[in-house]
Homo-oligomer: A and B are copies of this chain.
Amino acid sequence: MIVLLFVVTKSTAQTKEQIAFEKFYNESLSNGQSYQMLSYLTGKIGARISGSPQAAAAVEWAKQMMKQLGADTVKLQELMVPHWIRGDKEEGNIISLQSGTKQVPVCALGGSIGTGLMGITAEVVEVQNFDELKKLGKKKIKGKIVFFNRAMDPKKISTFEAYGGAVNQRSSGAVEAAKYGAIGVIVRSMTLSHDDNPHTGAMHYDNDVEKIPAAAISTNGADLLDKYLEEDEKLKFYLKMNCETLPEEKSYNVIGEIRGTELPNEIITVGGHLDSWDLGDGAHDDGTGIVESMEIIRMFKILHIKSKRTIRIVCFMNEENGLRGGSKYFEEAKKDTVNKYVAALESDRGGFTPRGFEMDTDQATVNTIANWKDLFAPYHVNEFFKGGSGADVYQLKKVKCLCMELVPDSQRYFDVHHCANDVLKNVNRRELEMSAATMAAMVYMLANM
């Protein structure tokens, strides 16, 4: 009898880490508030591009919410952000004498100048990359609109890798094309889906190169333009947008803390970004990262789970078009002589089923963390690998901080990324709750090991 009891006890005894993990997942999946918070953020506040009234509302909401959830301290970290507005006129027309006129879905890329009231109309040069621009040269490009049509590679299993292989057209296309005298660029949307949504995203200008308007075109629109160009290389494209850049605005990172019980000066930074693009409601990008982070405060408090180190939840401002929030946080961390920045965990790849963590650190540390895989295995979180981290935290590596990011399933992300589809109904409640629990579990380990 005693032996039997011993065996039973041994086989069912859980470590304190296993118990904490189970509490997080049970709480998130049964009583989770992440979806409800996301519903508020996306539905009542909505899109919140830096400098907008909605971004200010999101700051106020995040501050109040972290207080309500029981953060020991909540404070604002002031910074200045770019203030770009889309305007209300966006139009793109293919004008072909042979094939007729066809309107296609376009949107301004974030940061672009407008076209003026009359729009621009010009012949189109289609290219796949910057090398082709160079080969064509000024003679063939001057006065025209350059159409960057290199698709994301569907063969890449990680859609982020496919994104990385195409996104320079969006970020640098205008600068590169302007060097050869182009008067505007249209860029194939950064998505693997075939649909009618133009996807916006950041682009930049160089001071030495003339600024020209830059727009995204939906993938279906891009395919159509490509087809029309085959039939009529002399067709023209009409582009109108009245977006503009206004003076910078004051804004904030919102920072809430759970003070560490034993090592309060050792900081575990965790967060996502509060700003979003102006199309859609910023649900997956990055509302989910924000509410997952909020949920950590709520769960540590309601489950009475202790943290040796200080957990610092940061709602970063301006990830999308400036990274001012991440940079400000890093600058302050550099100057901080009191605290040690032990680890930083970001969630900014959508609120999908969690698959693992990517870490920007030495191999020994990666191995240490990968040793926790048995704890995560019951929750099917099983990929721990060395690589990058997140845009808002990666600079902290310079203060010897372990930088990492949650890796959710990536297959659906670019269907919604930076476009009108990034809304609550495309977030699955349970997938979000699984991610929230996974973030909490990793933070628990970072904060207590």
Q: Residues of A at under 8 Å CB distance from B?
A: 25-26, 29-30, 154-155, 157, 159, 192-193, 353, 355, 378-380, 382-383, 409, 411-412, 415, 428-431, 434
21 residue pairs of the A-B complex, CB under 8 angstroms, read A25-B155, A25-B157, A26-B155, A29-B157, A30-B154, A154-B430, A157-B379, A157-B380, A159-B430, A192-B430, A193-B429, A353-B353, A353-B409, A355-B380, A382-B382, A411-B428, A411-B434, A412-B428, A412-B430, A412-B431, A415-B428
Q: Which residues of B contact A154 (CB under 8 A)?
A: 29-30, 430
| B434 and A29 contact, CB distance less than 8 A | no
Q: Which residues of B contact A355 (CB under 8 A)?
A: 380
Contacts A157-B434, A355-B380, A411-B434 supplied; 8 other A-B pairs, CB < 8 Å:
A25-B157, A26-B155, A30-B154, A192-B430, A353-B353, A411-B430, A411-B431, A412-B431
The smallest C-beta distance from A379 to any residue of chain B, in angstroms, reads 6
Q: Which residues of B contact A29 (CB under 8 A)?
A: 154-155, 157
Query: Cα distance A409–B408 when bound, in Å?
Result: 12
Q: Residue on B with the closest CB to A355?
A: B380
The smallest C-beta distance from A194 to any residue of chain B, in angstroms, reads 8
Q: Which residues of B contact A353 (CB under 8 A)?
A: 353, 409, 411
The smallest C-beta distance from A411 to any residue of chain B, in angstroms, reads 4
Query: Cα distance A412–B352 when bound, in Å?
Result: 10
The smallest C-beta distance from A267 to any residue of chain B, in angstroms, reads 31
Query: Cα distance A383–B154 when bound, in Å?
Result: 24
Q: Residue on B with the closest CB to A430?
A: B411
